[in-house]
Amino acid sequence: MEFPIHKTKIAGVERKFNLSDPVERKEYFAAKAGPEIEKLKKYLGTQTFIGYLLGKKNTGKGTYSKMFAEVVGEGHIGHVAVGDIVRDVHKSFEQKSGEHEKLLTFIKNNYRGFHSVEETVDLILGRSQSGLVSSELIVALVKYEISRRQKKAIFIDGFPRAHDQIGYSLYLKELIGYRDDPDFFVFISVPNSIIDERIKYRVVCPICRVPRNLKLLATKDVGWDEAKKEFYLMCDNPSCGSARMLPKEGDELGIEPIRKRLEIDQQIFDKLLQLTGVPKVYLRNAIPVALAKDSVDDYELTPAYSYELDKATGKVVTKEAPWVVKDDEGVDSYSLLPPAVVVSFLKQAVKVLGL
């Protein structure tokens, strides 16, 4: 299915916003989706919803949901990442914190499946021969995580993630006690070429662990390694002393180590696209170059950074240009910055909620 293109270019809005600046980003959202934001804020004052974030690994599900919350009020929106839940629960059991006792009690009262309580603990800790956390246990863990929060609208990230979880997703809001809440699927389409370069060029500060991307998210200062003949980013955090940011081992392989995971994600994605009876939001990260001029503003496009060494001064010069990639059909496309995608998210959310 080819996702629709939702135009963010609005007649009369001529200002070029700096989308990396929180103040200007707020003004940008007000200019591009002010009426929709007010409707959502009013709705969330008394009501909630459940949105299922669906997309391949590294498609920006967490980024989009957190920016959505930034716009409408973080106190009204919760983000539940299934992978984080499993990791946090694993850690609480290993450390035998007080939290793991509460979880055990919750599982005894709420888990329905084919494992005993003891077996579920083995699954969580990875001691089980199967090595897989069952879908029934995933449902119980999601329910536990939401039970710990004040009731608010929830974006669920990472469920369903297996074929047998698709059926659960249709009735998850009833299973977790949100019987009267509307729910909808949020489909996020990102070409593999974008995911590949996000991985290949990402780097992290060895001190503060903040991530950046040599090609897509440059820091203020860039260095040159004469011995290796390569450029490198220097952390912007003053407390890190311009530490050299380093790639993670294996990232140079891009999507290859996770290609099978991406294929499964795509199969589930395609299957859910065929479902009827559940409202759908369609978010696309890439837009064909030929259609961009009439659909989006230039500053909404993801820039790509390249570098040159000024031999006269020994300093690195950073150059910026729109990032052109091939989409999954081989069409030259631009990648949109997160705020532009979230404008479409806000406007479609208003429609699926009937506001």
In a domain, 212, yes or no: yes
- Measured CA to CA, the distance from residue 54 to residue 282 in angstroms comes to 10
Amino acid identity for residue 341 in this structure: V
DSSP 8-state symbol, 7: -
How far apart, in whole angstroms, are the C-alpha atoms of residue 104 and residue 118?
Answer: 9
Q: Work out the pLDDT band at 134, boundaries 50, 70, 90.
A: confident
Q: Is the pLDDT of residue 130 over 60?
A: no
Q: What are phi and psi of 204, to 5 degrees?
A: -140, 145
- The mean pLDDT value for 66-88 works out to 86
- What band does 169 get if pLDDT is binned at 50, 70 and 90? low
pLDDT at residue number 213: 93
pLDDT greater than 80 at residue 176:
no
Residue 200's pLDDT is: 94
Contacts of 295 (CB under 8 A, 6+ apart): 5, 7, 8, 9, 287
Q: Is 214 domain-assigned?
A: yes
The number of CA neighbours under 13 Å toward the Cβ of 185 is 25
pLDDT in tens, 189-202: 999 999 999 999 99
Would you give the DSSP letter of residue 217?
B
Q: Which has more confidence, 250 or 131?
A: 250
With b for 16 or more beta-carbon neighbours within 10 A and e for fewer, the 251-269 pattern comes to: beebbeebeeebeebeebb
Residue-wise pLDDT for 297-339, tens only, equals: 999 999 999 999 998 888 999 999 989 999 999 999 999 999 9
Q: Is residue 347 part of a domain?
A: no
Q: Is the dihedral of CA 101, 102, 104, 108 positive or negative?
A: positive
- pLDDT value of position 40: 97
For residue 164, the model assigns a pLDDT of 64
Does residue 232 sit within a domain?
yes
Cα–Cα distances (Å) from 21 to 9, 70, 145, in that order, read 20, 13, 32
| Whole-number percent of the chain with pLDDT over 70 | 88
CB atoms within 10 A of CB 242: 16
Q: Is the pLDDT of residue 59 over 70?
A: yes
* Residue 171 in this model has a pLDDT that exceeds 70: no
Does residue 233 belong to any structural domain of this protein? yes
**65/88 Cα distance (integer angstroms):** 20
* 155 inside domain: no
Residue 57 one-letter amino acid:
K
Which pLDDT tens digit goes with each residue over 264-308? 888 888 888 888 888 999 999 999 999 999 999 999 999 999 999
Is 216 among the domain residues? yes
- Between 202 and 131, where is the model more confident? 202
Report how far residue 120's alpha carbon sits from residue 126's, in angstroms, rounded to the nearest whole number.
10
Domain for residue 248, yes or no? yes
| More confident site: 161 or 243 | 243
Q: Is the pLDDT of residue 64 over 90?
A: yes
pLDDT of residue 129: 42
For residue 174, pLDDT over 70 is answered with: no
pLDDT at 207: 93
Instruction: For residue 112, count other CB atoms closer than 10 A to its CB.
Output: 9
Q: Residue 312 is part of which domain span?
A: 202-260+289-335
Q: What is the pLDDT of residue 179?
A: 56
pLDDT of amino acid 83: 78
Question: How wide is the angle at C-alpha 197 spanned by C-alphas 347 and 236, nearest 5°?
Answer: 85
Structurally, the chain folds into a number of domains equal to 1
For the cut 50, the answer to whether the pLDDT of residue 110 exceeds it is yes
